[in-house]
């Protein structure tokens, strides 16, 4: 009886927090829309739109999103099928990861899903990575391909050409999967023939290192459980993220050469591996035939011509992975420069057709692009310009607003991780992102032809 009452109280508390989050953002929106003087109309509209998009994200993520892994399980239970569980090809590109690659290998090998093959591509490592891979290959746990350094895309492209599975699952070399990650995702493909890609949920493997990693961990939770959940409701997730990225072979196989040879501003673009691959699914109906014609001589197109389809891309909250993110400020800056270069490249790629997607998803996507470009100037106005003019309160209220939004994301984190106290660090990432990291978009644009990969 006590246990039942405890569970009821927990659910009541969760529901109260959920309503507090959504109502708080809604009240901010009403305040900006009706009680703030629109002295500067453009800035006024910007503030209203930022809050509106935030509210829409929270609303759909909290009230509308349902994990497709749970839905798929219900469908399969209600309509038993003789359909065999598909072979899953798990693939990882590796370069100089001798200190952490063993964790990745074992996490893939120990998956509860049995019908799988595991392929590691050693992309010209100069440390002991090759020896470690060969050791596990000799034990029969994995297959290893050794090649000269060619970059992540070409390494994974080679793996895909040799893979035999109907489902392609990718991991970053510094990531690990929960033992049931693939077991959770495979039923999604079995239950929904129109889903071409599934993004798992990732958190930090090195979260406990320091304040910076804790803040990033809390930030990652919100990026997935709020922002990706919103996109997933519309079947239009814009990035199937590297730590746990799973695709239907028929959705991406014909576009391997286009992905390997992706160019931007007249040269090969080595970043945006996961964003670009996701883009081929989202834009399949609109750019697929043209790309297949362009690369018609490649074996990936000649061997089998998969039909063009309007694929959906979703996110599964219960399929979990952990990865390593920077534990020092210098590495954090370098990583975000790379991410922002990928963002710029994919704004021109995915942005060219994403308007075909459901209205709210498309609206949020294009407004986000505007927010990324305009945000730094808004921050400059409030933090530098207004105090110079004597308006200190403008700066204080702006910073408090940033902290408050971070706090809302933190509460959403707390709902998902009830025994975890990392949520209190989430506002730190909001401050860093708004006041410092946002400015990297301009440096990234100026140096976008510099294709240097930085690892923590």
pLDDT of residue 5: 43
pLDDT in tens, 372-419: 999 999 999 999 999 999 989 889 988 988 998 898 888 888 888 877
More confident residue, 440 or 19: 440
In angstroms, the CA 209 to CA 178 distance is 21
Whether the Cβ atoms of residue 272 and residue 456 lie closer than 8 Å to each other: no
pLDDT in tens, 320-355: 999 999 999 999 999 999 999 999 999 999 999 999
- Does position 14 have pLDDT exceeding 80, yes or no? no
pLDDT in tens, 346-373: 999 999 999 999 999 999 999 999 999 9
In angstroms, the CA 62 to CA 17 distance is 11
In the CATH scheme, what architecture does the domain 68-352 have? Alpha-Beta Complex (3.90)
Whether the Cβ atoms of residue 184 and residue 111 lie closer than 8 Å to each other: no
Q: What is the mean pLDDT of the chain?
A: 91
Which strands make up the sheet holding 116-123, listed edge to edge? 143-147, 116-123, 88-94, 167-170, 245-248, 195-204, 312-323, 176-177
pLDDT of residue 84: 86
Tell me what percent of the residues of the chain surpass a pLDDT of 90.
75
DSSP state letter for 63 = I
Written as one string, the DSSP assignment of 225-286 is IIIIHHHHHTTB-S---GGGEEEEHHHHGGGHHHHHT-EETTEE--S-HHHHHHHHHHTHHH
Nearest to 108 by CA among 92, 130, 95: 92
pLDDT of residue 25: 72
Give φ, ψ of 88 to 5 degrees: -110, 125
pLDDT of residue 455: 53
In the chain, what are the domain boundaries? 13-66+357-446, 68-352
pLDDT of residue 355: 97
- Does position 50 have pLDDT exceeding 80, yes or no? yes
Structure token digits, residue 452: 């240097």
pLDDT of residue 72: 96
In terms of Cβ atoms closer than 10 Å to its own Cβ (0-12, 13-18, 19+), residue 37 is exposed
Whether the Cβ atoms of residue 312 and residue 194 lie closer than 8 Å to each other: yes
Q: pLDDT band at 82, cuts 50/70/90?
A: low
Whether the Cβ atoms of residue 413 and residue 392 lie closer than 8 Å to each other: no
In terms of Cβ atoms closer than 10 Å to its own Cβ (0-12, 13-18, 19+), residue 367 is middle
pLDDT of residue 33: 59
- Does position 1 have pLDDT exceeding 80, yes or no? no
pLDDT in tens, 147-188: 999 999 999 999 999 999 999 999 999 999 999 999 999 999
- Within 13 A of 343's CA, how many CA atoms are on the CB side? 21
What are the DSSP E strand ranges found in 95-142? 116-123
Long-range contact pairs involving 35-43 (C-beta distance under 8 Å, separation at least 24): 43/378, 43/381
Using DSSP's 3-state secondary structure scheme, residue 179 falls into coil
Whether the Cβ atoms of residue 159 and residue 185 lie closer than 8 Å to each other: no
Written as one string, the DSSP assignment of 283-299 is THHHHHHHHHHHTTTSH
In angstroms, the CA 51 to CA 244 distance is 30
Question: Model pTM greater than 0.85?
Answer: yes
Residue indicated by tokens 């990706």: 228
pLDDT in tens, 272-313: 899 999 999 999 999 999 999 999 999 999 999 999 999 999
pLDDT in tens, 196-252: 999 999 999 999 999 999 999 999 999 999 999 999 999 999 999 999 999 999 999
Q: pLDDT band at 8, cuts 50/70/90?
A: very low
Q: Which residues pair with 119 in a beta bridge?
A: 91, 143
């Amino acid at each position: 009886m006590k246990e039942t009452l405890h569970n009821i109280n927990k659910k009541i508390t969760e529901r109260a927090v959920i309503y507090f989050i959504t109502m708080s953002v809604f009240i901010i929106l009403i305040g900006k829309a009706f009680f703030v003087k629109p002295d500067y109309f453009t800035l006024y509209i910007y503030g209203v739109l930022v809050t509106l998009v935030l509210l829409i994200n929270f609303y759909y993520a909290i009230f509308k999103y349902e994990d497709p892994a749970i839905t798929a399980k219900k469908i399969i239970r209600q309509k038993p099928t003789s359909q065999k569980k598909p072979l899953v090809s798990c693939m990882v590109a590796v370069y100089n990861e001798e200190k952490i690659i063993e964790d990745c290998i074992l996490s893939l090998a120990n998956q509860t899903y049995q019908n799988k093959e595991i392929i590691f591509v050693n992309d010209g490592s100069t440390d002991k990575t090759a020896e470690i891979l060969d050791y596990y290959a000799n034990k029969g746990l994995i297959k290893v391909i050794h090649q000269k350094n060619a970059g992540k895309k070409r390494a994974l492209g080679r793996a895909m050409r040799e893979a035999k599975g109907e489902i392609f699952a990718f991991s970053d070399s510094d990531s690990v999967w929960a033992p049931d990650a693939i077991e959770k995702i495979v039923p999604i493909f079995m239950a929904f023939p129109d889903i071409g890609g599934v993004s798992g949920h990732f958190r930090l493997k090195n979260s406990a290192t320091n304040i910076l990693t804790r803040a990033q961990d809390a930030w990652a939770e919100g990026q997935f459980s709020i922002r990706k959940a919103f996109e997933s409701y519309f079947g239009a997730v814009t990035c199937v993220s590297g730590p746990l990225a799973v695709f239907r072979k028929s959705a991406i196989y014909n576009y391997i050469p286009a992905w390997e040879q992706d160019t931007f501003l007249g040269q090969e673009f080595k970043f945006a591996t996961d964003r670009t691959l996701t883009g081929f699914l989202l834009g399949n109906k609109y750019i697929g035939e043209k790309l297949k014609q362009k690369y018609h001589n490649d074996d990936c197109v000649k061997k089998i011509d998969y039909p063009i389809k309007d694929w959906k891309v979703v996110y599964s909250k219960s399929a979990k992975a952990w990865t390593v993110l920077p534990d020092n400020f210098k590495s954090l800056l370098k990583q975000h420069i790379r991410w922002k270069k990928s963002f710029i490249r994919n704004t021109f790629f995915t942005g060219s057709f994403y308007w075909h997607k459901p209205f709210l998803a498309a609206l949020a996507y294009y407004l986000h692009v505007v927010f990324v470009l305009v945000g730094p100037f808004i921050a400059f106005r409030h933090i530098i310009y207004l105090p110079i003019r004597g308006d200190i309160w403008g700066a204080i209220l702006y910073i408090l607003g940033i902290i408050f939004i971070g706090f809302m994301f933190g509460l959403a984190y707390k709902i998902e991780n009830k025994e975890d106290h990392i949520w209190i660090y989430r506002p730190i990432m909001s401050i860093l992102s708004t006041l410092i990291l946002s400015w990297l978009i301009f440096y990234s644009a100026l140096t976008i032809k510099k294709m240097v990969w930085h690892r923590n």
